[in-house]
Amino acid sequence: MLSLKKYLTEGLLQFTILLSLIGVRVDVDTYLTSQLPPLREIILGPSSAYTQTQFHNLRNTLDGYGIHPKSIDLDNYFTARRLLSQVRALDRFQVPTTEVNAWLVHRDPEGSVSGSQPNSGLALESSSGLQDVTGPDNGVRESETEQGFGEDLEDLGAVAPPVSGDLTKEDIDLIDILWRQDIDLGAGREVFDYSHRQKEQDVEKELRDGGEQDTWAGEGAEALARNLLVDGETGESFPAQFPADISSITEAVPSESEPPALQNNLLSPLLTGTESPFDLEQQWQDLMSIMEMQAMEVNTSASEILYSAPPGDPLSTNYSLAPNTPINQNVSLHQASLGGCSQDFLLFSPEVESLPVASSSTLLPLAPSNSTSLNSTFGSTNLTGLFFPPQLNGTANDTAGPELPDPLGGLLDEAMLDEISLMDLAIEEGFNPVQASQLEEEFDSDSGLSLDSSHSPSSLSSSEGSSSSSSSSSSSSSSASSSASSSFSEEGAVGYSSDSETLDLEEAEGAVGYQPEYSKFCRMSYQDPAQLSCLPYLEHVGHNHTYNMAPSALDSADLPPPSALKKGSKEKQADFLDKQMSRDEHRARAMKIPFTNDKIINLPVEEFNELLSKYQLSEAQLSLIRDIRRRGKNKMAAQNCRKRKLDTILNLERDVEDLQRDKARLLREKVEFLRSLRQMKQKVQSLYQEVFGRLRDENGRPYSPSQYALQYAGDGSVLLIPRTMADQQARRQERKPKDRRK
DNA sequence: GTTCTGTGTCATCCC
DNA sequence: TAGGGATGACACAGA
């Protein structure tokens, strides 16, 4: 199927191109729709896809109805449509994407009048076209125009029935009525045409005896009949002329041969021909609101920087902004301004200064590109005035040229300054150059800020950090230590399930301390000390970490390394055990304290007192026991305190990183917004320039931007008014805000 | 031998 | 008021 489609498509295209080159206008659309609907489906796909090509899309819409895609008028028409669509798209900003328009250029051999379609083109299904090829100008010249629109008429199916000499008038009337009904019922062209073709074929079969010449004649008559528009209600036929919108367009964008329309509504038809005034007004108001909001953000002017920025400008290279970055319409653009958007398009006038932000009656002056006094184009109450802040627009003169300050340049300048100052800013805020560069790289990578934390306290191992984090919650209150104490009591109780343990054993083993650190971090209190390496910051500390070990576990834990065991003397083992004991343990052992240090430290006060009461202890022993308990408690407290400190530092560092990340993101977004704003302003200016440049006076000469300006009227129309009037309105608009301030 | 780091301990404050 | 948590300061041990 695909291969067939490709084959047909390419073949038809090549054939069409070939015919076009030899001067035959080929209406593939008509051919595809009327002759072979299945083939059209094969080639063009479903009808939805049928509208993707502008060529067909135009003809499938009411806007495009009635004008041939290869008509000379299409130039103006498409220009007008493009401008209109661009204006419409202004309120929903989109960065223009690459667009490729392929056109089959056909030149009428005899220089046909624009707006009329010579009969050189023919539908492929009509073999009569061969006749036209040989003598396109020898045909019925008076029907050229009608034929040209007859094709368009045919597109809608409003084609008169073929006038066959063998058909009776009743047949023709019947066919005509049926067609009108189809038209009135909104029947699609394809269905209509297809049934029509079937009907034609049936009729042809019946009339085949009449000879081919009759058929040709019928086709020719049909071609003539196509040129008549048939009113669906009355059945009245009338010569097809320019569609309303097309005429409006041609009126709005007059060609040099045509006198322009009235100045007042010179552009109105252009903008209202296909759009209801309400919608258009709404769009213009949206545009105006956007432009008004742009009054902000502009601090300086640097048009050169803004508009002469090469494609690889720092903004794009350093921030990797998507070219089609959508702009948030909620972005406040107040105080922004529109500067000269291109080197050759700086259109300021002195009157622009102190230009108020007008709402509906804002003038929209722009200068044609061929104007030599571009700067005088912008009136004070024109569209440009909206785009340019007053303080930036007042230094231009009619001949100054592009030396005017560019508010958009200010935007860019600001953006660039942001970027440039990023490094300084980062350094000022304590980033080292490496971090600053990383911050800058973030604009490229968009992968988030990756600060080098190797230098910071957070460079602690993740295990440390995680353990600290996990312990932070428990250590946030006194419950931390209490829970730790209780847990340690439980842990310490291991091996001490009964008080019947001999004192000898305890004395031999020494008072067992606690080590909340390890029980919290690793839960491996009874493991080989080598496993303590899971705490990187403790792995090099050779302190005794066996406080909370039970004697039995302590035995295994205190076992010397295999090498020591091999040496295996009890004395060495005792020395090792002594080394593992803390000072308090040694003291308790020396003072013959009858219970372990773990109990002394971790037992609750009541149990501790109860324990003390069970033994007859001397004052020295009691004092030592209380000191051991106090020191043990304080030791745990110190450990918790240090953990809290560490957690605090880590959290602060994390917060700093988050803030830096947010800051970088905000800066990145700001740059993106500025870039979008710049592009939108450029688009608006180019649109204004294009619209203004296409305007012609009665003599076909372009309007002087120093004398005229475009004004956006409240009713949605765009007017071309004299500058003096525009200036007056600008002053009026200027007074209003001042009065309000008062 | 010096420095750094982790730990223990003391003093003190506070609840 | 005693107990105990929190914390700064100091000392010590080990790398």
Measure A542 CA to C13 C1' (Å). 8
- A605 sits within 7 Å of strand C by its CB: yes
Considering A619, A648, A677, which residue would you say is the last residue of a domain? A648
* Cα A136 from Cα A147, distance rounded (Å): 12
Please indicate, yes or no, if residue A92 is contained in any of the structural domains: no
Please indicate, yes or no, if residue A725 is contained in any of the structural domains: yes
> What is the distance, to the nearest Å, from the Cα of residue A402 to the centroid of all Cα atoms in its chain?
32
Give strand letter and number of the nucleotide nearest A646 (CA to C1'): B6
Considering A609, A633, A648, which residue would you say is the last residue of a domain? A648
Q: Closest residue to B8 by CA to C1' distance?
A: A635
Please indicate, yes or no, if residue A697 is contained in any of the structural domains: no
Please indicate, yes or no, if residue A38 is contained in any of the structural domains: no
Which of A315-319, A433-437, A638-642 has the lowest average pLDDT?
A: A315-319
Q: Cα-flanking dihedrals φ and ψ of residue A137, to 5°?
A: -90, -5
- A165 sits within 7 Å of strand C by its CB: no
Exposed (0-12), middle (13-18) or buried (19+): which is A278, by Cβ within 10 Å? exposed
Q: Which domain covers residue A730, as residue numbers?
A: 704-735
Task: Enter the DSSP assignment of A57.
Answer: H
Measure A632 CA to C9 C1' (Å). 18
Nearest alpha-carbon partner for A716 in A246, A360, A383? A360
Give strand letter and number of the nucleotide nearest A635 (CA to C1'): B8
- Residue A382 neighbours by CB distance under 10 Å: 35
More confident residue, A434 or A623: A623
Task: Please say if the pLDDT value at position A590 is more than 60.
Answer: yes
Angle A59-A61-A64 from CA coordinates, rounded to 5°: 55
The side-by-side arrangement of strands in the sheet containing A708-712 is: A363-364, A708-712, A718-722
pLDDT digits (tens, 9 = 90+) for A111-158: 333 333 333 333 333 333 333 333 333 333 333 333 333 333 333 333
Measure A542 CA to C10 C1' (Å). 20
> Which stretches of A22-128 are DSSP H helices?
28-30, 37-44, 47-50, 54-60, 74-88
Provide, rounded to the nearest whole percent, the portion of chain A with pLDDT above 90.
4
> Is the pTM above the cut of 0.85?
no
- A541 sits within 7 Å of strand C by its CB: yes
CB A279 within 8 A of CB A344: no
Residue A663: the pLDDT is: 97
DSSP string, A580-631: HS-HHHHHHHHTT-SS-HHHHHHS-HHHHHHHHHHS---HHHHHHHHHHHHH
The SS3 assignment for A286 reads helix
The amino acid present at A391, given as its one-letter code, is Q
**DSSP H or E segment with residue A654:** helix A619-694
Please indicate, yes or no, if residue A726 is contained in any of the structural domains: yes
The SS3 assignment for A49 reads helix
Q: Closest residue to B7 by CA to C1' distance?
A: A543
Task: Please say if the pLDDT value at position A381 is more than 80.
Answer: no
* Cα A646 from Cα A654, distance rounded (Å): 12
Partners of residue A262 on adjacent β-strands: none
More confident residue, A707 or A92: A707
Please indicate, yes or no, if residue A619 is contained in any of the structural domains: yes
Residue A443: half-sphere exposure toward Cβ, Cα within 13 Å: 29
- A102 sits within 7 Å of strand C by its CB: no
More confident residue, A382 or A575: A575
Q: Which range scores top for mean pLDDT: A71-75, A77-81, A500-504, A707-711?
A: A707-711
More confident residue, A607 or A45: A607
Task: Please say if the pLDDT value at position A703 is more than 60.
Answer: yes
* Cα A389 from Cα A377, distance rounded (Å): 16
* Cα A45 from Cα A42, distance rounded (Å): 5
Please indicate, yes or no, if residue A711 is contained in any of the structural domains: yes
Which of A6-20, A226-240, A305-319 has the lowest average pLDDT?
A: A305-319
**DSSP H or E segment with residue A290:** helix A277-293
Residue A620: the pLDDT is: 83
Give strand letter and number of the nucleotide nearest A547 (CA to C1'): B8
Task: Please say if the pLDDT value at position A679 is more than 80.
Answer: yes
Nucleotides on strand C with an atom closer than 7 A to protein CB?
A: 3-9, 13-15
Measure A540 CA to C10 C1' (Å). 22
Q: Closest residue to B9 by CA to C1' distance?
A: A631
Residue A673: the pLDDT is: 97
Measure A542 CA to B2 C1' (Å). 19
The amino acid present at A461, given as its one-letter code, is S
Task: Please say if the pLDDT value at position A602 is more than 90.
Answer: no
Task: Please say if the pLDDT value at position A348 is more than 90.
Answer: no
Exposed (0-12), middle (13-18) or buried (19+): which is A309, by Cβ within 10 Å? middle
* Cα A377 from Cα A709, distance rounded (Å): 7
- CB under 8 Å, gap of 24 or more: what pairs does A227-231 form? A227/A143, A227/A145, A227/A146, A227/A147, A227/A148, A227/A149, A227/A150, A227/A153, A228/A146, A228/A150, A228/A153, A228/A160, A229/A149, A229/A153, A229/A158, A230/A153, A230/A158, A230/A160, A230/A176, A230/A179, A230/A180, A230/A183
pLDDT digits (tens, 9 = 90+) for A272-331: 333 333 344 444 444 444 443 443 333 333 333 333 333 333 333 333 333 333 333 333
- Residue A540 neighbours by CB distance under 10 Å: 7
Considering A625, A648, A671, which residue would you say is the last residue of a domain? A648
Q: Closest residue to B11 by CA to C1' distance?
A: A634
Q: What is the mean pLDDT of chain A?
A: 49
Measure A488 CA to C6 C1' (Å). 20
**DSSP H or E segment with residue A720:** strand A718-722
Please indicate, yes or no, if residue A226 is contained in any of the structural domains: no
**Average pLDDT in the A678-702 region?**
88
What's the CATH code of the domain at A595? 1.10.880.10
* Cα A123 from Cα A638, distance rounded (Å): 96
Measure A237 CA to C8 C1' (Å). 104
Q: Which residues of A594-615 are buried (b: 16+ CB within 10 A; e: fewer)?
A: bbbbbbbbbbeeeebeebbeee
Residues with CB under 7 A from strand B: A 515, 517, 535, 537-538, 540-541, 543-545, 547, 582-584, 627, 630-632, 634-635, 638-639, 642
More confident residue, A18 or A718: A718
Q: Closest residue to B6 by CA to C1' distance?
A: A541
Measure A478 CA to B14 C1' (Å). 13
Residue A169: the pLDDT is: 58
Q: Which residue has the tokens 């009108």?
A: A180
Nucleotides on strand B with an atom closer than 7 A to protein CB?
A: 5-12
Task: Please say if the pLDDT value at position A495 is more than 80.
Answer: no
| Total domains present in chain A | 2
